[in-house]
Structure 1
């Protein structure tokens, strides 16, 4: 088949949607299909459209459906789609869902927040990750480094970990190392200001994926403090790396790590996060419990499992289109 993957993120972007599109393109090619990635409906011959983002790709979805009413559409739902845009832009979100023949959710609990009438279109695709390289460097003696990997924007609650390590006891070894692009100069200014007053916080700005993998390899733990997530690939990567995760208790994290994962804290609860960070620094048994827990999830995030789920989503879309076209 000729498959078009559409994403709002342009070529060369380090945005998570672009990385997902690039990885899925490679996966679908291994299944024997011709694949191209675009940011818009290019009018070329396409047998199946795979769109990332119900709201931001809505124009492309509508144009493709009008141009090719007999061709299937697979729609991958992001965190902002499910947890924001379906409420702030219900008409656009709803029209994209109605146009799609199959829906992709990136974690196990997406269906909890979709209208029941769409559950039969939903396929869960866990984003895959490769094991990180061995760390070429290690933190200096006396440091316990905790990484935060996420862009600086409201949905990520990006400074929660920085706030949690302010005024820790002098004996604490914890340092927060944050990699992620500032979505505005105001966010960048806040990061620089935080570094100026908080010696336990370092912002690296945006770095490439190889640097991210190196950062994870040398870190003792990772914090993901988001208020909404569609199923963050950094959680998959942490599980594959055996990197303990301290995560906000939101559906997007629970749907990847499991309801009984021991490393959750309430959203925006700085004090609770602070206590968890101090615990992983001082309680090796608890830290090992987290390592074991993420390790037990790692098998869910293999390239083979991701390819199989993508094929399932495409097959479902083809089947639904065939059924609707039948007399």
Structure 2
């Protein structure tokens, strides 16, 4: 089958949507399909469109639907589609009704989909092969922050929190991620210079970013919203405990009973959780390690592949004719 994957960033991008599009293309090719990844639909006879990000891929969805009206469309909803809600996220609900299937990246995402469309909504958790851990530094408690500096990531929250830690703390933040606005970049550079607990490395090639994660004792996610963050999946694959804002995108992946949450935008609460994790106060760090280890199987690539295989069988049955080869 010929499958077109449309997303808002180039396939080579290390932003979350680019990472997801590459992984999906790879697993679909492993299933025997001919896959092309694009930002804009420019014609061509495809049997299926998978659109990553309903709002930002709207033009591609409309163009594909106009040229290939009988071909199924799968729309995958991202964090900025889903939260705080679809209408606020700019998603055209009429366009969403055109989808043969809707994909969300964690179970809580289904709650954001209109009731009439939930029967055709599927949860496909993102995956990552196991990441070999590295020996953490003995002279510090390294915390990884892997986030491009967009407002939705609340990128200065962690640097502000570590300023509140006691002078005896050995916590050191390593921030990997690019910037899109000069003023944010200036603030990150200043923070990296003035805050001894914070180091911003800028964007790094993906293998180097994952190496930072693998050697860290903790990953922190400060986002206001997430659809199902790749970095949470990566931390689970690396066996690195996670501290996250209490948002549906993280609760859907980690569970309501997960011990590592803090309220969105609450600098003091984040500082308290970091201090407790560093010293394993009340066994917090031990519990986070155990909880993340218990969830590691949820990011097994075979599970994601099987989910896509089932979805494809639903939208393009085995006895249906299609133009590509498998």
Bin for the TM-score computed over the shorter chain: over 0.9
Q: Is the 8 A contact 2:136 2:217 kept in 1?
A: no
Q: Is the 8 A contact 1:5 1:38 kept in 2?
A: yes
| Counterpart selection for 2:161 from 160, 164, 171 | 164
Shift of 1:138: 4.0
What are the ranges of 5 or more consecutive residues in structure 1 without an aligned counterpart?
Answer: 323-327
Shift of 1:288: 1.5
Instruction: Determine the C-alpha separation between the residues in 2 that align with 1:45 and 1:228.
Output: 36
Shift of 1:247: 0.6
| Counterpart selection for 2:236 from 222, 225, 239 | 239
Q: Match for residue 314 of structure 1?
A: 312
Instruction: Determine the C-alpha separation between the residues in 2 that align with 1:167 and 1:272.
Output: 10
Q: Is the 8 A contact 2:27 2:305 kept in 1?
A: yes
| Counterpart selection for 1:263 from 251, 260, 263 | 260
Q: Is the 8 A contact 1:85 1:93 kept in 2?
A: no
Shift of 1:84: 4.9
Equivalent residue of 1:88, what SS? coil
Q: Is the 8 A contact 1:106 1:125 kept in 2?
A: yes
Instruction: Determine the C-alpha separation between the residues in 2 that align with 1:316 and 1:150.
Output: 35
Instruction: Determine the C-alpha separation between the residues in 2 that align with 1:148 and 1:134.
Output: 17
Q: Match for residue 115 of structure 1?
A: 114
Trace 1:50-61 onto structure 2 (pairs within 5 A). Answer: 50-61=50-61
Q: Match for residue 67 of structure 2?
A: 67
**Number of aligned pairs?**
317
Instruction: Determine the C-alpha separation between the residues in 2 that align with 1:23 and 1:96.
Output: 25
Equivalent residue of 1:12, what SS? coil
Shift of 1:112: 1.1
- TM-score, normalization by structure 2: 0.93
What are the ranges of 5 or more consecutive residues in structure 2 without an aligned counterpart?
Answer: 321-326
Equivalent residue of 1:262, what SS? coil
Trace 1:1-327 onto structure 2 (pairs within 5 A). Answer: 1-84=1-84, 86-88=86-88, 90=90, 92-135=91-134, 138-139=136-137, 141-283=138-280, 285-318=283-316
Instruction: Determine the C-alpha separation between the residues in 2 that align with 1:60 and 1:154.
Output: 26
Deviations 1:57-115 (A, max 9, x none): 0011011111111100011110001115722364x531331121101100110011121
Q: Is the 8 A contact 2:133 2:239 kept in 1?
A: no
Shift of 1:313: 2.4
Q: Is the 8 A contact 2:110 2:123 kept in 1?
A: no
Deviations 1:236-289 (A, max 9, x none): 111121111001000000000011101100111111110000001111732121
- Which structure carries more helix by proportion? 1
Q: Is the 8 A contact 1:51 1:76 kept in 2?
A: yes
Equivalent residue of 1:45, what SS? coil
Please list every run of at least 4 consecutive aligned residues from structure 1 whose deviation after the TM superposition is greater than 4 angstroms. none
Instruction: Determine the C-alpha separation between the residues in 2 that align with 1:167 and 1:257.
Output: 27
Further displaced range: 270-279 or 30-39: 30-39
Q: Is the 8 A contact 1:104 1:313 kept in 2?
A: no
Instruction: Determine the C-alpha separation between the residues in 1 that align with 2:65 and 2:89.
Output: 20
Equivalent residue of 1:86, what SS? coil
Q: Is the 8 A contact 1:224 1:248 kept in 2?
A: yes
Question: Cα gap change, 1:292/1:11 in structure 2, threshold over 3 Å: closer, same or farther?
Answer: same
